[in-house]
């Protein structure tokens, strides 16, 4: 694999990375606002919680169904054009929804269709952005870029959720107008992005199924990718279950809704702080310590929810649990991107999105089952036990114990 030829300047002065970061930071704010507003609009129109779930499911199903073919298509096509097309499609879909809501003509079918378009666009956009990142920054700065993108996601989710609730109180269409405008900004920033030429020509086009299998075969043959993917699946499954169980526990204890909201937001605060610390921790910690550290932090801190009754203190607990995750993510993603040839990076991202996204979706279902079948306290301890078993497996795994350290800028 060829070495990066991107001029090495401080990341904040890297024009193309900054354009991408700003544009997608705006888009993530708008997306989070829409994801909050979708179920609220459906409830206002129909009063049906089931219909609300259907709309959110449309986004998740579209991403899951298209994850593997999207990764293969991203490896075929010009990645910047894919990203531009996705932003434009989202602007058009959101404009149709804003117009329908202004005219009181929105239907559940329309909302489902728009949510599915957003999910399909994310299924294509995320692999395209991930695959392009190593061509925008020097390899020595890749870990810092990955951590900076992690901070962007946390900030976008926190601020977008808050703005979505505020704007929905003003008008039903307002959160979707915000999403439309932020994707328009992202589209404009991409127009000015100078995407470097691909380091390697895409492989000759075959049938899409064949290309997907080639990508999966490459990933399966790399033990480091197999093992770290299993780590990410376990972490997302058990933590998503734990998160729902703790929310149920807090609600049954009579914790005010405002405190629960702050508690949830503190998870994002921890993610932002962790992303700020990630480049430094990535340089100082061995890869094995960085990866195992997040598992042991979750295993040690998660049982404390049984003892903590104050919603704000539970928020501090959530923030502490999120603090080390960006460092592990930076370590894993940086190595995976450098290990994978450019012509396969879209399929790498699409495959990982499917695996990790599936675990994140299954986690709440597991948490709900635990909360319904036993006491919330027992459910917390069962979730904590699952994270402890995963931490033990990570600690003794020989592949992770010898995980290579990437050379990064200091």
Dump pLDDT digits (tens) for 11-53. 888 899 999 999 999 999 999 889 888 888 888 888 776 777 7
Q: Which residue ranges form the domains of the chain, and what is each CATH number? A: 11-195 (1.20.1250.20), 215-401 (1.20.1250.20)
Instruction: Give Cβ neighbours of residue 231 (< 8 Å, ≥ 6 apart).
Output: 291, 295, 332, 390, 394, 400
Pair 124, 86: CB distance under 8 Å: yes
pLDDT in tens, 283-309: 899 999 999 999 999 999 999 999 988
**Is residue 9's pLDDT more than 70?**
yes
Q: Mean of the pLDDT values across residues 172-180? A: 95
**More confident: 8 or 57:** 57
- Which band of pLDDT confidence, cut at 50, 70 and 90, is reported for residue 252? confident
3-state secondary structure the chain: CCCCCCCCCCHHHCHHHHHHHHHHHHHHHHHHHHHHHHHHHHHHHHCCHHHHHHHHHHHHHHHHHHHHHHHHHHHHCCHHHHHHHHHHHHHHHHHHHHHHHHCCCCCHHHHHHHHHHHHHHHHHHHHHHHHHHHHHCCHHHHHHHHHHHHHHHHHHHHHHHHHHHHHHHHCCCHHHHHHHHHHHHHHHHHHCCCCCCCCCCCCCCCCHHHHHHHHHHHHHHCHHHHHHHHHHHHHHHHHHHHHHHHHHHHHHCCCCHHHHHHHHHHHHHHHHHHHHHHHHHHHHCCHHHHHHHHHHHHHHHHHHHHCCCCHHHHHHHHHHHHCCHHHHHHHHHHHHHHHCCHHHHHHHHHHHHHHHHHHHHHHHHHHHHHHHHCCHHHHHHHHHHHHHHHHHHHHHCHHHHCCCCCCCCC
Q: Mean of the pLDDT values across residues 362-379? A: 84
Q: Is the dihedral of CA 176, 89, 43, 59 positive or negative?
A: negative
pLDDT at 115: 92
Question: What is the pLDDT of the chain when averaged over all its residues?
Answer: 87
In this structure, what token pair is assigned to residue 277? Answer: 């610390």
Helices 142-170, 15-46: crossing angle, 10 deg rounding: 30
Pair 346, 131: CB distance under 8 Å: yes
- Which band of pLDDT confidence, cut at 50, 70 and 90, is reported for residue 409? very low
Picking from 117, 79, 111, the residue whose alpha carbon sits closest to that of residue 98 is: 111
Please give the backbone phi and psi of residue 256, each rounded to the nearest 5 degrees, phi first.
-55, 150
For the ranges 158-162, 209-213, 216-220, which has the lowest average pLDDT?
158-162
pLDDT in tens, 66-96: 999 999 999 999 999 999 999 999 999 999 9
In this structure, what token pair is assigned to residue 46? Answer: 């129909």
pLDDT at 184: 97
**Is residue 367's pLDDT more than 70?**
yes
CA distances from 150 to 64, 259, 269, 270, 381 (A): 21, 26, 12, 12, 29
**Is residue 3's pLDDT more than 50?**
no
**Separation of alpha carbons 233 and 212, rounded Å:** 20
Per the document, the length of the chain is 410
Tokens 């894993």, located at residue: 332
**More confident: 377 or 187:** 187
**Separation of alpha carbons 400 and 398, rounded Å:** 5
pLDDT in tens, 332-342: 999 999 889 98
**Is residue 189's pLDDT more than 80?**
yes
pLDDT at 2: 41
**Is residue 406's pLDDT more than 50?**
yes
Instruction: Provide the CB-side half-sphere exposure for 124 (13 A, CA).
Output: 22
**Separation of alpha carbons 140 and 21, rounded Å:** 18
> Which pTM does this prediction carry?
0.83
Q: Mean of the pLDDT values across residues 344-355? A: 90
- Which band of pLDDT confidence, cut at 50, 70 and 90, is reported for residue 375? confident
Pair 65, 216: CB distance under 8 Å: no
pLDDT at 251: 80
**Separation of alpha carbons 153 and 275, rounded Å:** 10
Please give the backbone phi and psi of residue 181, each rounded to the nearest 5 degrees, phi first.
-65, -40
In this structure, what token pair is assigned to residue 121? Answer: 């666009």
pLDDT at 192: 94
**Separation of alpha carbons 150 and 158, rounded Å:** 13
**Is residue 120's pLDDT more than 70?**
yes
Triad 407, 408, 410: Cα angle to 5°: 125
């Amino acid at each position: 694999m060829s070495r990066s030829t991107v001029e090495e300047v401080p990341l904040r002065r890297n024009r193309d990375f900054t354009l991408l970061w700003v544009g997608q930071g705006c888009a993530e704010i708008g997306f989070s606002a829409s994801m909050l507003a979708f179920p609220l609009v459906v409830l206002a129109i129909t009063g049906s919680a089931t219909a609300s779930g259907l709309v959110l499911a449309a986004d998740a199903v579209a991403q899951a169904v298209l994850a593997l073919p999207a990764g293969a298509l991203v490896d075929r096509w010009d990645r910047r054009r894919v990203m531009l097309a996705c932003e434009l499609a989202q602007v058009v879909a959101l404009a149709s929804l804003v117009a329908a809501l202004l005219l009181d003509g929105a239907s559940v079918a329309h909302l489902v269709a728009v949510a599915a378009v957003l999910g399909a666009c994310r299924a294509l956009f995320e692999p395209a952005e991930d695959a392009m990142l190593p061509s925008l920054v020097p390899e020595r700065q890749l870990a810092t870029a990955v951590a900076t993108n992690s901070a962007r996601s946390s900030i976008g989710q926190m601020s977008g959720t808050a703005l979505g609730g505020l704007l929905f109180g003003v008008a039903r269409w307002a959160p979707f107008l915000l999403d439309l405008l932020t994707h328009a900004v992202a589209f404009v920033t991409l127009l000015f992005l100078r995407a470097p030429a691909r380091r390697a020509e895409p492989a000759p086009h075959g049938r899409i199924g064949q290309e997907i299998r080639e990508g999966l075969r490459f990933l399966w043959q790399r033990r480091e990718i197999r093992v770290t993917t299993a780590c990410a699946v376990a972490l997302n499954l058990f933590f998503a279950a734990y998160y729902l169980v703790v929310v149920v526990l807090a609600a049954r204890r009579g914790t005010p809704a405002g405190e629960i909201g702050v508690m949830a937001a503190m998870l994002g605060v921890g993610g932002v702080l962790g992303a700020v610390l990630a480049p430094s921790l990535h340089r100082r910690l061995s890869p094995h310590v960085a990866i195992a550290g997040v598992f042991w932090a979750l295993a040690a801190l998660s049982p404390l929810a049984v003892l903590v009754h104050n919603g704000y203190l539970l928020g501090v607990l959530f923030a502490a649990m999120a603090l080390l995750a960006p460092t592990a993510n930076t370590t894993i993603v940086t190595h995976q991107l450098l290990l994978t040839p450019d012509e396969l990076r879209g399929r790498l991202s699409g495959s990982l999105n499917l695996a990790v996204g599936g675990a994140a979706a299954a986690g709440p279902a597991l948490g709900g089952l635990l909360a319904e079948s036993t006491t919330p306290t027992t459910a917390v301890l069962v979730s904590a036990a699952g994270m402890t078993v995963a931490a033990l497996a990570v600690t003794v795994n020989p592949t992770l114990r010898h995980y290579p350290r990437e050379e990064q800028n200091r």
